[in-house]
Structure 1
């Protein structure tokens, strides 16, 4: 029988409007992530919070020890829910995440969080490569406008491109409503 865990990736204060690196649509994404979190807790499934800190004191955001690096109150860990601290895009790199999932015999992951084009993408691809069955909840993830070669790419397009790519080969990509109805 499959065992599932929810992984909440980097929903930290710096990504919100008052933070150092605000994302487009972060409040809606966090509200949807909170709905998924509530359902996961009610089901008794494992919840893992991933929190990113940069090691350099001059980092643009998520500075170690700062309020901005703290998990946002909308999805704050409770009780014995583990928090995995990471310093890289890939949540598995040099962390205890895989050992934690293995300890709980997890083989399916539901992923929510930020940023769609970086850490959500990184954990999803790594998880699939490690043979986990992965579901990404697209409307519980957020990103920001990007710039490439003088062209501004709107956050909605960045998000859609990454969700499309993940859905092609790495994960099932669903809405919050679809996940919760399932």
Structure 2
């Protein structure tokens, strides 16, 4: 019997704790209608949006700062002015919650995003949104490079099925989602199952 695998954090003796809404900024990533209907519809998007709504309510009640990221593209999907590009009603920002537009997966490619976070003065980010393997992953890794602690709320994220690479079988949405979170939990983020597990 082989030993269970360990994360790089565990091998280094680190035991990072989840962020708390008392000392973190909540970042909701691309919670947009393109993922609710059409070619990018995500399995489980309804429950994930419900979890995002609950997380937003919890953050607002705690007085935590909240920022939103939204993807834009010149054609195809996420086109400015289309229903698909709009943030889903469950995740709609309230007055005072800024929406930063981006054209790449990593939210920090918007030059205004990092300065806005720095003005908030919190070094921990709580991430939720879509897709786990793409924009959540890219933003989380960039955040760590910039010195932020990252916590991801698992049930407030989702992915889609992907074709297998190098001739391997395709991967279900759940496999892609779980694999992305496993990679992030190795070094880049604390992953919690739901908002009740935040510090």
TM-score by length of 2: 0.84
Partner Cα separation in structure 2 for residue 19 and residue 4 of structure 1: 34
Matched, 1:105 2:124: no
1:145 corresponding residue in structure 2: 161
* Residue number among 37, 47, 56 corresponding to 2:56 in the alignment: 37
Q: Is the 8 A contact 2:51 2:156 kept in 1?
A: yes
Matched, 1:10 2:30: yes
**What does residue range 109-120 of structure 1 map to in structure 2 within 5 Å?**
109-120=125-136
**What does residue range 1-182 of structure 1 map to in structure 2 within 5 Å?**
3-16=23-36, 18-55=37-74, 57=75, 59=76, 61-148=77-164, 149=167, 151-179=169-197, 182=199
TM-score by length of 1: 0.92
**Offset of 1:162 from its aligned partner?**
0.6
Q: Is the 8 A contact 1:4 1:109 kept in 2?
A: yes
Of Structure 1 and Structure 2, the greater strand share is in 1
**Offset of 1:42 from its aligned partner?**
0.5
Which runs of 5 or more structure 2 residues have no equivalent in the other structure?
Answer: 1-21
Question: Structure 1 residues 95 and 80, CA, compared in 2 at 3 Å: closer, same or farther?
Answer: same
**Offset of 1:20 from its aligned partner?**
3.8
Question: Structure 1 residues 62 and 143, CA, compared in 2 at 3 Å: closer, same or farther?
Answer: same
CA-based RMSD: 1.4
Q: Deviations over 1:117-158 (max 9, x none)?
A: 100000110011111010000111001100023621001111
Partner Cα separation in structure 2 for residue 84 and residue 105 of structure 1: 18
Q: Is the 8 A contact 2:100 2:110 kept in 1?
A: no
**Offset of 1:14 from its aligned partner?**
0.8
Partner Cα separation in structure 2 for residue 45 and residue 178 of structure 1: 15
Which runs of 5 or more structure 1 residues have no equivalent in the other structure?
Answer: none
User: SS of the residue aligned with 1:125?
Assistant: helix
Q: How many pairs align?
A: 176
Bigger Rg over Cα: 2
Partner Cα separation in structure 2 for residue 69 and residue 20 of structure 1: 13
Q: Deviations over 1:14-70 (max 9, x none)?
A: 100x33410111111111111111000001010001100112x2x2x2112211000
Q: Is the 8 A contact 2:162 2:176 kept in 1?
A: yes
User: SS of the residue aligned with 1:135?
Assistant: strand
